[in-house]
Chain A
Amino acid sequence: MPAGVDNLERLEEEACREIAAAASLQALTEVRARYLGKKGSVAEVLRGIGDLAGDQRARIGQLANSAKRRIEMVVSERRRALERGQRDRTLGAERLDITLPGAEEPRAGHLHPVTRVFRDMVEFFTSMGFSIEEGPEVETEYHSFEALNIPKLHPARDEQDTFYVEGGNALRPHTSNVQIRTMTGRTPPFRFIAPGRVYRHDLSPRHYPMFHQIEGFLVDERVTFADLKGVLHAFGRHLMSDDIELRFRANHFPFTEPSAEMDYGCLLCERKGCGICSNSGWIEWGGCGMIHPQVLENCGIDPDRYQGFAFGMGVDRTALLRYGIPDIRLLFEGDLRVLEQV
């Protein structure tokens, strides 16, 4: 009977409308009872089909049941929505002021900028198979100068730059003493770095009496200047940038021959010239070269059989540039407002 079918469709439509409009769980329960309860509208339709013919009754019954299921589904969806809304309202009342600062403890400490850069450098070289070697900071003249082929009257040995201690020794002006101590009495191949603290008698805006160096050495039967360039290029990429440009300038050190100074292309201005690189586009990085045969000989190594490279660079300047610290003194004057920025 078409009237029954129409009725059901209309009922379902009305039910969905009312369910959607139910503003509370209470209202929803009432709407559900009105349609699906024992005395509800759907039940009423079912009750009215008793006098219909069998096949028709079965059809309407089917339709009524599926209408009932659909209404039930809409009700439960609506119930979930209403329930969540209610919980959120309750939680909302417990809300934190999320703009208050986070807990102070545990507060992070800070490594010194020089430590950070040293770690970075040491990590690279140990990964390449260089061991770490150390030596004393108060050193003999032999290990600091003579063994390195710097004779007493050489202009490169400016005593005004050196801190002497009573008894004739001195605070080391470079970490090269470690080269002598490590190589003496041993047989190549050697592959090592010497990171450490050094001292020069100089206190000016650009210099501090204490600073840090890392030197590296590779001695074997066939180690070339080209290898030196290769290692330094890889190091530069690791330490600074994949796009780093290096430049090797001829220079003079008594302990290497040939000797070179290396610069890297200023990353700030991309070599156009800026205040950091004194408008040259290049920043001085350190010195390097092939170990002087006299130095090898001083260490008891046959310079006709073995050859090797040496390089050295400051650590502090890299730290200053990396963190944008304008003055080396800020690293060592212990102002915590500076050190806690890094």
Chain B
Amino acid sequence: MRASLQWLAEFIDLPAEANLVERLTLGGFEDVEITATGPDLSEIRVGRVRECTQHPNADRLSVCKVEFGDGEPVEVVCGAPNVAADQKIAFAAVGTKLPDGTVLKRAKIRGVVSSGMICSSRELELGDDHDGILVLDPDAPLGAPLPEVISGSDRELEVGITPNRGDAASLIGLAREIRALFGGDLRAPETDPPETGPAAADAIRVEIEATDDCYRYVARIVRGVRAGPSPGWLVAKLAASGIRSINNVVDVTNLVLLEFGQPLHAFDLAKLRGGTIKVRRAVAGEKLATLDGEARELSAEDLVIADSERAIALAGVMGGANTEVGDATTDVLIESAHFHPGRVRLAAKRYGIQTEASYRFERGVDRLGVQRAADRAARLIAELAGGEVATGSVVAKGAAPTVTEEIRFPTDRANKLLGTALSKQEMAALLERVGVRCASSDADELVCAIPSHRIDLQLHQDLTEEVARIYGYDRIPVTEPMGLLRGVERPRLWRMAECSRDALVAAGLIECQTLPFLNADWLAALQLDADDPRGRAVRLINPIREEEPLLRTTLLPSILRLVQQNRSRQLGRIEVFELARLFRADGAPSRWGPSLPEESLGLAAAIAEREERGLWEAPTLLPLFFKLKGIAKKLLDQLGYVAWFPSASLPPYLHPGAAAAIEVGGVVVGSIGELHPDVASAFGLDVGCAVMELDLEGLVVLPQQQVRFHKVSRQPSVRRDLAVVVDVEQPAGEVIEAIRKTGGKDLISVELFDRYAGKGIAKGRTSLAFRLVFQRYDRTLRDEEVTKTTDRIVKMLAHRFKGELR
């Protein structure tokens, strides 16, 4: 809501600007600001047309002699039909900067030199009317800057209004708030119209068919009006609130809307058929051309205003072109009504239009303010556009809305909720400031009468908020809550996620977070099996990007795209991970409820081959797989699990020769591996990339390994190195396992320290070098004991793996 401060001051005395902004801000209004945002009209002056004569060479032009305070009167050519001698007008002298930024020059128009311009509201950016000039109040002081004589073009107050406070979306609404916060007296505008014409009821009947959608409909009639340009003050007031001037009749309805917050509509009575106004639901498919020039096909859900034949307005939203008030209009019907907020909101949403009227109806207007607004509009139209106000109004009534008129307010509970110790009298005084009348019942209770414009006040808690708001939230004490001290434990999955992050960060990876949206092609690129549940994803109805309508079932596409994007940023080191929810759409039962997709916490990591090493450090040449395997092993260690990496259950997007499952206690909980080259190229990756996936939810239900102390030996250990040549296909893990078994309990460690194929080794064979360490707790091992065991190992290797000592 935007309004001229000068105009607001007509309704209540205003405090200093800074004070006003602060209190309104603390009192519940958002983004409160006072600005000078209107067009800069300070160089435009009040002038007077001394003489007005016909232009010698043009029928439609006049030549005016204009005086504007100091200096000689000047001669000006004017094209407006409404210019006349003795008018006070807005005058721009030669050299004046106009609102559009141009500087006015002397010009010769059809042979007459024009030394200035008599401005229309359009040229001043106050309205759309450019047929006529802006005519000022005859009392306006000659030569004064224009902003001094038309209110509203200087300082504007802008406030954001929360959805519950539709009652504040008017000048009187704001003035009421200012009274609540600062005190003072409201000055209400005059409303009584001079009823001199024949009875309105003779001209029109009003019927409410949709009684649930319309509580009240008031019609007033003004006959014999002259629709035309509005006076300057009216144009300026509307402009300050962001409404452009149309003509004096329509402008009055908008002015009253701004004053009272009650939307009005003016119909051309002559265009109304059958002398009837009907408030009814539209017939599905019924057509209405609205005032914005759109031809609309209506729904049976829409509430319309109709005459005896057709719809003439979309109720509460916008009028129809078929009954529009124009220059030729003489008789006007003014509608002031109370429509159902939800009904108006539905229509405004369906047609995607928000108008000043629909905005207010949606939030609920004062049910007792309907008549007052109609009266005020009739009075002003008669005043500004002439004409005769018909006697009485035609009123129709629908079903009364449910309203709260009285609330019993337990003041002790208000104190208990706020943590304050306000007396009943203090609370009553605070509530009276917002117009709630309080009577005392028993010791701790006030009986509160709710003003009709405050439809948001329904519960005693709502009144507690009013008390707090007017008292000031900042004056409520600051205390610490009391209650039982209880230890809290973070959920196990939460701890596991945190521990995973720490382990991966310690391994040098960077944590990323990405949007959960997937393109179907990315999912397809993973070449999942037909029965893989990850192939079916939850679909968004309104995705942010049409091509990414799915919620992710796997983190892989997100993380591979991230690797690719960082490659294209030419980064040399891309080692990343992400933890996020995954969504399943395969009908798996969800812990969150039957209609919801199951969600689980997924973890994925990716490392890309590094292009450059540290400039002077020796590179490590281990394949990516082993780097990631080391990371995975450490991660699971940290989580408290002993992991195995068998080459079974491999996902199809991994390189079949460089991948392994992650298995804990016989359960597959993830996978690691280098990316299948086809998948890599589908994601535009031009370097090797290894990925890890871990199902944290699958893991969290498995028992963790207890950390147990095992004693350390004081006896010396014996070390033996052993190189054995085996078949190149022979998995080294099996050889290590066999050595460990054969070595018995004295063999405390087996480590592979070299793997070599090439010169000196037969084709198809590879040399594995192991370091064996023997040690006992009770005594020193003798050399011959160790040799005996080693010999047994060598024999076993020869027998089982065709291993030859090297």
The residues of A with any CB-CB pair to B shorter than 8 Å are 100-101, 103-112, 114-115, 119, 122, 126, 129-132, 134-140, 153-156, 163-169, 171, 181, 189, 191, 197, 201, 203, 209-210, 218, 220, 222-227, 229-231, 233-234, 247-252, 257-260, 290, 292-293, 307, 331-337, 339-340
Contacts known (A335-B569, A336-B566); A104 close to B469, Cβ less than 8 A: no
Q: Cβ of B28 and Cβ of A249 under 8 Å apart?
A: yes
Residue of B162, B165, B482, B571 with most chain A CB atoms under a 10 A cut-off? B162
CA distance A156 to B162 in the complex (A): 9
Q: Flag whether B757 is at the interface (Cβ < 8 A).
A: no
For residue B501, which residues in chain A have a CB less than 8 angstroms away from its CB?
Answer: 111, 115
B303 to chain A, nearest CB (A): 14
Q: Cβ of A224 and Cβ of B164 under 8 Å apart?
A: no
CA distance A293 to B410 in the complex (A): 15
For residue B488, which residues in chain A have a CB less than 8 angstroms away from its CB?
Answer: 126, 129-132
A135 to chain B, nearest CB (A): 7
Q: Among the listed B516, B562, B592, B596, which residue makes an inter-chain contact with A210, where contact means beta carbons less than 8 Å apart?
A: B516
For residue A163, which residues in chain B have a CB less than 8 angstroms away from its CB?
Answer: 540-544
A-B pairs with beta carbons under 8 Å apart, 7 shown:
A109-B508, A132-B490, A224-B419, A229-B477, A231-B480, A250-B465, A340-B510
CA distance A225 to B542 in the complex (A): 39
Q: Cβ of A226 and Cβ of B418 under 8 Å apart?
A: yes
Q: Cβ of B418 and Cβ of A224 under 8 Å apart?
A: yes
Contacts known (A153-B341, A225-B419, A250-B468); A336 close to B481, Cβ less than 8 A: no
For residue A138, which residues in chain B have a CB less than 8 angstroms away from its CB?
Answer: 538, 551, 583, 596-597, 599
Q: Cβ of A307 and Cβ of B512 under 8 Å apart?
A: no
CA distance A176 to B564 in the complex (A): 36
Q: Told that A104-B617, A119-B498, A331-B513 touch, could you supply 19 new A-B pairs with CB distance under 8 A? A: A103-B614, A109-B511, A110-B511, A129-B486, A136-B592, A138-B538, A153-B342, A153-B345, A164-B542, A222-B482, A225-B417, A226-B418, A226-B420, A226-B478, A250-B26, A250-B473, A251-B28, A258-B465, A336-B566
CA distance A130 to B490 in the complex (A): 10
Contacts known (A109-B505, A110-B505, A153-B345); A252 close to B164, Cβ less than 8 A: yes
B69 to chain A, nearest CB (A): 39
Q: Which residue of B lies closest to A262 (CB)?
A: B473
CA distance A234 to B418 in the complex (A): 18
CA distance A137 to B363 in the complex (A): 30
Contacts known (A225-B468, A230-B479); A104 close to B30, Cβ less than 8 A: no
CA distance A258 to B467 in the complex (A): 9
CA distance A137 to B590 in the complex (A): 12
Q: Cβ of A220 and Cβ of B569 under 8 Å apart?
A: no
Contacts known (A129-B488, A140-B593); A220 close to B483, Cβ less than 8 A: yes
Q: Cβ of B566 and Cβ of A335 under 8 Å apart?
A: yes
A218 to chain B, nearest CB (A): 6
CA distance A169 to B581 in the complex (A): 16
Q: Which residue of A lies closest to B579 (CB)?
A: A115
Q: Which residue of A lies closest to B620 (CB)?
A: A105
Contacts known (A110-B510, A250-B26, A337-B571); A227 close to B479, Cβ less than 8 A: yes
Q: Among the listed A100, A119, A249, which residue makes an inter-chain contact with B25, where contact means beta carbons less than 8 Å apart?
A: A249
Contacts known (A166-B541, A229-B478); A129 close to B417, Cβ less than 8 A: no
Query: Which chain B residues in 475-516 approach chain A with CB under 8 Å?
Result: 476-491, 494, 498, 501, 504-516
CA distance A138 to B488 in the complex (A): 27
CA distance A104 to B342 in the complex (A): 64
Q: Cβ of A336 and Cβ of B469 under 8 Å apart?
A: no
For residue B515, which residues in chain A have a CB less than 8 angstroms away from its CB?
Answer: 209-210, 332
The residues of B with any CB-CB pair to A shorter than 8 Å are 25-28, 30, 162-165, 341-342, 345-346, 362-363, 416-420, 456, 459, 461-462, 464-465, 468-469, 473-474, 476-491, 494, 498, 501, 504-516, 538-544, 551, 562, 565-566, 569, 571, 573-576, 580-581, 583, 590, 592-593, 595-597, 599, 613-617
CA distance A193 to B101 in the complex (A): 56
CA distance A114 to B501 in the complex (A): 13
For residue A234, which residues in chain B have a CB less than 8 angstroms away from its CB?
Answer: 480
CA distance A110 to B502 in the complex (A): 9
B608 to chain A, nearest CB (A): 11
CA distance A234 to B456 in the complex (A): 33
Q: Cβ of A112 and Cβ of B513 under 8 Å apart?
A: yes
For residue B478, which residues in chain A have a CB less than 8 angstroms away from its CB?
Answer: 226, 229-230, 233
Q: Cβ of A224 and Cβ of B416 under 8 Å apart?
A: yes
Contacts known (A210-B516, A227-B481); A167 close to B26, Cβ less than 8 A: no
For residue A115, which residues in chain B have a CB less than 8 angstroms away from its CB?
Answer: 501, 511
CA distance A133 to B311 in the complex (A): 54
Q: Among the listed A110, A139, A164, which residue makes an inter-chain contact with B596, where contact means beta carbons less than 8 Å apart?
A: A139
Q: Cβ of A336 and Cβ of B468 under 8 Å apart?
A: no
CA distance A100 to B616 in the complex (A): 9
CA distance A113 to B681 in the complex (A): 31
Q: Cβ of B476 and Cβ of A229 under 8 Å apart?
A: yes
For residue B551, which residues in chain A have a CB less than 8 angstroms away from its CB?
Answer: 138, 165, 171
Q: Cβ of A259 and Cβ of B599 under 8 Å apart?
A: no
Q: Among the listed B163, B474, B539, which residue makes an inter-chain contact with A248, where contact means beta carbons less than 8 Å apart?
A: B474
Q: Cβ of A250 and Cβ of B469 under 8 Å apart?
A: yes
For residue A166, which residues in chain B have a CB less than 8 angstroms away from its CB?
Answer: 538-541
Q: Cβ of B479 and Cβ of A224 under 8 Å apart?
A: yes
Q: Among the listed A137, A164, A293, which residue makes an inter-chain contact with B461, where contact means beta carbons less than 8 Å apart?
A: A293
Contacts known (A250-B28, A250-B469); A109 close to B504, Cβ less than 8 A: yes
Q: Cβ of B596 and Cβ of A252 under 8 Å apart?
A: no
Q: Cβ of A226 and Cβ of B512 under 8 Å apart?
A: no
CA distance A191 to B487 in the complex (A): 11
For residue B508, which residues in chain A have a CB less than 8 angstroms away from its CB?
Answer: 105-109
6 closest A-B pairs by CB: A226-B419, A224-B419, A258-B465, A250-B28, A109-B505, A252-B162
Q: Cβ of B481 and Cβ of A230 under 8 Å apart?
A: yes
For residue A197, which residues in chain B have a CB less than 8 angstroms away from its CB?
Answer: 580-581
CA distance A7 to B465 in the complex (A): 106
Q: Cβ of B490 and Cβ of A257 under 8 Å apart?
A: no
Contacts known (A109-B510, A114-B513); A136 close to B599, Cβ less than 8 A: yes
For residue A154, which residues in chain B have a CB less than 8 angstroms away from its CB?
Answer: 163
For residue A210, which residues in chain B have a CB less than 8 angstroms away from its CB?
Answer: 515-516
Q: Cβ of B468 and Cβ of A258 under 8 Å apart?
A: yes
Q: Cβ of A292 and Cβ of B461 under 8 Å apart?
A: yes
CA distance A112 to B346 in the complex (A): 43
Q: Cβ of B542 and Cβ of A337 under 8 Å apart?
A: no
Q: Among the listed B30, B481, B505, B544, which residue makes an inter-chain contact with A111, where contact means beta carbons less than 8 Å apart?
A: B505
CA distance A103 to B616 in the complex (A): 10
For residue B506, which residues in chain A have a CB less than 8 angstroms away from its CB?
Answer: 106, 108-109
Residue of B593, B615, B616 with most chain A CB atoms under a 10 A cut-off? B593
For residue A339, which residues in chain B have a CB less than 8 angstroms away from its CB?
Answer: 510-512
CA distance A329 to B486 in the complex (A): 39
For residue B562, which residues in chain A have a CB less than 8 angstroms away from its CB?
Answer: 334
Q: Which residue of A lies closest to B162 (CB)?
A: A252
Q: Cβ of A169 and Cβ of B596 under 8 Å apart?
A: yes
Contacts known (A222-B416, A225-B417, A250-B473); A135 close to B592, Cβ less than 8 A: yes
CA distance A136 to B595 in the complex (A): 12
CA distance A234 to B505 in the complex (A): 30
Residue of A136, A233, A331 with most chain B CB atoms under a 10 A cut-off? A136
